[in-house]
Structure 1
Amino acid sequence: MLIHVESHKQDKSVGRIRQQNESKIIAAAEIEFARHGYKGASIQNIAERSGLPKANIHYYFRSKQGLYAAVLSNILDLWDEVLSELDPDGDPAQELEAYIRAKMVLSRDYPLASRIFGIEIMSGGAHLKEYFQDGYVDWFKGRTAVFETWIAQGKMQPIDPAHLVFLLWSSTQHYADFSCQIDAALGKPQAMLERAEFDTATETLIHIILQGCGIRQP
């Protein structure tokens, strides 16, 4: 089964009620898919959790496939947007710091969506094949080109840009995908990290990654 994952951003003409209902449905769907996976997820459970009739779920998303695609698209839109904002003409210290902070906020605020994406990838990414084929290579090369520009300008060490991006992805999303392990290690079973602890983790990543790239913090 192949799901076409595309942008789910709202047009300005879409009514506020529709936006609110879709947000409720996606939030409920994140919980259901994270707990039971795609196959085990139930539209009825999503409807009950969202507080909306089951008919409304099908009205907005038509099928479980469409809803699953919307959940994936929601987090992918956010991730892709922050990476696309890296400016080759900017200061790499400021650009990378802003990126890491943004990704950590997404891990804090959208942990379930990140886990669903992780489960999908570890299962082979069958529902993401179109997403990865639709100009994805060119988009990724455009992102690594930013680091190549900084390297050519002597603003950072000659580190392989692709693997640096992979490191940035994995280190920031770790706090969403492996939160259970992190909570246990810090003696906080079944409890979310407090904002101060997220801030500490963010500052640690910024320091290590910038130092490793040979970039001095302001």
Structure 2
Amino acid sequence: MADGAPRKETRIQAEKRELIREAALDVFSRHGFRGSTLDQIAEAAGLSKPNLLYYFESKDAIHRDLLERLLDTWLDPLRELDGGGDPVREIRGYIQRKLEAARDYPRESRLFANEIIQGAPRIADELQGPLRELVDEKSAILRRWMAQGRLARMDPHHLIFAIWAITQHYADFDVQVRAVLGSDDEARFHDAAAAIEMLFFRGLLPR
């Protein structure tokens, strides 16, 4: 190996780093960045604080690492919206993918929401760069479908915002949803999809 070249992590080191990420995701999603400590993360990971600091130099470094990984998870469902497809099928698929993300990644969703609420101090560049570019790209597709008479006319950016708001509710306010429904039944996501589709497509279909 050349002098100064980074050393490849061993399998054990990679596993420890992933263990820390999992523990930190749990702690940050429950307590937020400001309410979380390295001691809490180390305890959740079953490691000493010095051992944790061998892998990540600070709480901020762990948080940034999680957010960078999260952004791809956040953007993937929208990336799949295909401008060559049927508008209703594509929007229905997007809603379904966002609900699946709420079901499968509730901690990641809450981590992202906490960062946004705090003013996005660690991912502002990503929001104004990759996320904005993707939303503009997909909004152009929606606007084209509207111009073709295949969807009712509305501001496509606000349509995307509305889908975000409704679908993420099932992750960010999961405790409230389960309390109101009185059930942990996974069928709530199927029922949510049906209700959201009815709500959106009554307004989206051209008159």
Question: TM-score, structure 1 length as denominator?
Answer: 0.80
Which one of the candidate residues 195, 203, 206 is aligned to 1:204? 195
Q: Distance in 1 between matches of 2:60 and 2:191?
A: 38
Which amino acid in the other structure matches residue 39 of structure 1?
R
Q: Distance in 1 between matches of 2:80 and 2:13?
A: 29
Q: Distance in 2 between matches of 1:170 and 1:137?
A: 17
Correspondence for 1:178: 173
Correspondence for 2:161: 166
User: How far 1:109 moved relative to its partner?
Assistant: 1.4
- Distance of aligned partners of 1:202 and 1:69 in 2 relative to their CA distance in 1, 3 Å threshold: same
Which protein is bigger by CA-based radius of gyration? 2
Per-residue CA deviation, residues 80-132 of structure 1 (Å, 9 max, x unaligned), is 11101111111112211221111111111111221122122222222222222
User: How far 1:48 moved relative to its partner?
Assistant: 2.3
Per-residue CA deviation, residues 164-194 of structure 1 (Å, 9 max, x unaligned), is 0000101100001111221221234xxxx32
Q: Distance in 2 between matches of 1:39 and 1:208?
A: 37
Correspondence for 2:205: 214
Q: Which has the higher contact order (CA 8 A, sep 6+)?
A: 1
- Distance of aligned partners of 1:104 and 1:19 in 2 relative to their CA distance in 1, 3 Å threshold: farther
Correspondence for 1:121: 116
Which amino acid in the other structure matches residue 102 of structure 1?
R
Task: Name the SS of the counterpart of 1:125 in structure 2.
Answer: coil
Correspondence for 1:10: none
Task: Name the SS of the counterpart of 1:126 in structure 2.
Answer: coil
Q: Distance in 1 between matches of 2:61 and 2:197?
A: 37
Which amino acid in the other structure matches residue 205 of structure 1?
I
Correspondence for 1:5: none
Which one of the candidate residues 58, 62, 68 is aligned to 1:67? 62
User: How far 1:55 moved relative to its partner?
Assistant: 4.5
Structure 1: any 5+ residue segments left out of the alignment?
Answer: 1-12
- Residue identity over aligned pairs, in percent, reads 37
Correspondence for 2:92: 97
User: How far 1:65 moved relative to its partner?
Assistant: 1.1
Q: Distance in 1 between matches of 2:9 and 2:94?
A: 30
Which amino acid in the other structure matches residue 184 of structure 1?
A
Q: Is 2:75–2:131's contact at 8 Å kept on the other side of the alignment?
A: no
Q: Distance in 2 between matches of 1:15 and 1:176?
A: 35
